[in-house]
């Protein structure tokens, strides 16, 4: 549909099961023939982003997720205990294989945080399942993931909407999807898990600004009525993602018509790039 003279990246933001909204946006991209040159993802966005970078269509992704239950992801439902995150790795391995990131069709980065160094890790090479598992490992919900000499936790602790990552890899423009724009809500509970999750939301609120600053277009589905820890309402979340993408589609299409605009790459000394 478009003559490609520029590079446009897509950043899939984190948001737990609200990440189902990403699929609606992907459906809209397909209808308008839009394809991106670079894919970055944080947390749930890294899982969707991995399949998108592998060339999976909306329908193929939907056929996988429609049968996924909460117990398939969070296998330990005992209160006040964390679960292994092997279920996320199983979704990758059972459908894409035990592959490396560099085997994907579109260049891809998963964003996680190494709790040993406290650095943000932009993982662009190496085992795909491990990288995505680390990116999704929400503190207090999932156990951290040991990956080489790192101990990885959810990338949303530092970069919940990784719009700057495609820019680091040469994209002229970036479209982002924020499936969790209502992340600012608090809690009146003093339960350990509720307090931990609220603490994570507070952290993500501040670093979400970074994502908006580095985005040329942001797709913002209405997901407030859905719980980020439940799969209930999956189809409705997909519809919200689709509608939100359609609403800004003229702006997205316009990006592909723009001339290449030379921009300085973002600078953040706390990001470690794993690309070897």
Is a pLDDT exceeding 80 seen at residue 118?
yes
Q: What is the pLDDT of residue 231?
A: 66
Q: Which of 9-13, 115-119, 221-225 has the lowest mean pLDDT?
A: 221-225
pLDDT in tens, 72-90: 777 665 555 688 899 999 9
pLDDT in tens, 173-183: 999 999 987 66
Q: What is the pLDDT of residue 79?
A: 54
Q: What is the pLDDT of residue 77?
A: 59
Sequence-ordered alpha helix ranges (H) in the chain: 21-31, 44-53, 58-65, 70-73, 86-96, 128-136, 164-168, 192-213, 234-247, 249-257
Nearest to 12 by CA among 57, 36, 37, 46: 46
Mean pLDDT, all residues of the chain? 88
In the numeric block, the tokens 């899982």 are attached to 47
């Amino acid at each position: 549909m478009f003559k490609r003279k520029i590079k446009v990246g897509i950043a899939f933001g984190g948001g737990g099961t609200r990440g189902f909204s990403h699929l609606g946006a992907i459906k809209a991209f397909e209808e308008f023939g839009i394809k991106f040159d670079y894919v970055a993802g944080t947390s749930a966005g890294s899982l969707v982003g991995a399949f998108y970078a592998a060339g999976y269509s909306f329908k193929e992704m939907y056929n996988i997720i429609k049968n996924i239950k909460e117990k398939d992801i969070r296998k330990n439902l005992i209160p006040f205990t964390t679960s292994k995150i092997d279920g996320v790795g199983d979704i990758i391995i059972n459908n894409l294989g035990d592959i490396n990131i560099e085997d994907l069709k579109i260049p891809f980065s998963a964003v996680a945080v190494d709790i040993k160094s406290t650095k943000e890790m932009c993982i662009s090479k190496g085992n795909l399942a491990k990288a995505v598992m680390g990116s999704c490992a929400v503190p207090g919900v999932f156990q951290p993931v040991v990956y080489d000499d790192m101990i990885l936790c959810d990338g949303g602790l530092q970069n919940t909407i990784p719009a700057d990552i495609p820019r680091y890899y040469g994209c002229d423009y970036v479209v982002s999807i924020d499936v969790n724009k209502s992340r600012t809500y608090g809690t009146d509970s003093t339960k350990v898990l509720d307090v931990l999750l609220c603490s994570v939301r507070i952290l993500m609120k501040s670093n979400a600004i970074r994502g908006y600053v580095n985005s040329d277009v942001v797709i913002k589905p209405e997901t407030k009525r859905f719980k980020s820890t439940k799969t209930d309402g999956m189809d409705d979340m997909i519809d919200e993602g689709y509608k939100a993408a359609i609403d800004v589609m003229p702006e997205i299409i316009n990006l592909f018509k723009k001339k290449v605009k030379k921009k300085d790459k973002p600078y953040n000394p706390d990001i470690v790039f794993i690309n070897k």
